[in-house]
Amino acid sequence: MDIKTLIRDVPDFPKKGIIFKDITPLLKHPKAFQEVISKMAEQYKSQKINSIVAMESRGFILGGALAIQMGVSFIPVRKPGKLPWKTLQETYELEYGKDTLEIHQDSIVKGDKVLVLDDVLATGGTASATIRLVERAGGDVVGACFLIHLSFLNGHEKLKSIPIFSILQF
């Protein structure tokens, strides 16, 4: 199955000049969605992963499905004020400002092997901030997994020490 044909380009979203990679056509296609999750699970089946940490919002869709497939826990990373318990925060630079992510303080047991997962690796800001959160919480990040890697944006350079896997590259 050609998964790439199920990714829709949306010009000028969320702002002019951006071509947004929309994964909702893929999610609407059960066999394609299952194939993506199976490929991700296959990539990590030999590693002793305890948890999958995924960022809101599209990362939740993939991360939850992969956690179930692999029989491991799912840990959400969210924008400030969305998690109901004590959190750790990580602020990071964006092209035009800053953003912050949070994780529950007690979500990771020290030494847990953690896979970080999101739908797209673009500039690497969100992924690198999430990796720092996981490490501050005591986890050992064994890899970063993405459905799409926009390699021309060089986000992988911010994740140099972490092995990266993606299903699609643009």
Domain assignment of residue 14, yes or no: no
Domain assignment of residue 119, yes or no: yes
81-131 pLDDT, tens per residue? 999 999 999 999 876 779 999 999 999 999 999 999 999 999 999 999 999
Give the pLDDT confidence score for residue 97 in this predicted structure.
79
Domain assignment of residue 24, yes or no: no
* CATH code of the domain covering residue 118: 3.40.50.2020
What average pLDDT does range 32-48 have in this prediction?
A: 97
pLDDT at residue 80 above 90?
Answer: yes
Give the pLDDT confidence score for residue 105 in this predicted structure.
97
Give the pLDDT confidence score for residue 79 in this predicted structure.
97
Give the pLDDT confidence score for residue 1 in this predicted structure.
84
Domain assignment of residue 6, yes or no: no
What average pLDDT does range 76-81 have in this prediction?
A: 98
Lookup: tokens for 75? 């840990």
C-alpha atoms less than 13 angstroms from C-alpha of 156 in its C-beta half-sphere: 14
Domain assignment of residue 35, yes or no: no
Domain assignment of residue 33, yes or no: no
Give the pLDDT confidence score for residue 125 in this predicted structure.
95
Selected catalytic residue, list 35, 58, 93, 136: 58
Domain assignment of residue 115, yes or no: yes
**Backbone phi and psi for residue 15, each to the nearest 5 degrees, phi listed first:** -145, 165
Domain assignment of residue 129, yes or no: yes
For residues 56 and 49, give the distance between their C-alpha atoms in angstroms, rounded to a whole number. Answer: 20
What average pLDDT does range 62-71 have in this prediction?
A: 98
pLDDT at residue 13 above 90?
Answer: yes
Residue 78: domain span: 46-169
Task: Please count the structural domains in the chain.
Answer: 1
51-64 pLDDT, tens per residue? 999 999 999 999 99
Selected catalytic residue, list 56, 95, 132, 157: 95
Q: Is 95 designated active site?
A: yes
Give the pLDDT confidence score for residue 58 in this predicted structure.
96
Question: Would you place residue 69 in the very low, low, confident or very high pLDDT band (cuts 50, 70, 90)?
Answer: very high
117-128 pLDDT, tens per residue? 999 999 999 999
CB 156 within 8 A of CB 125: no
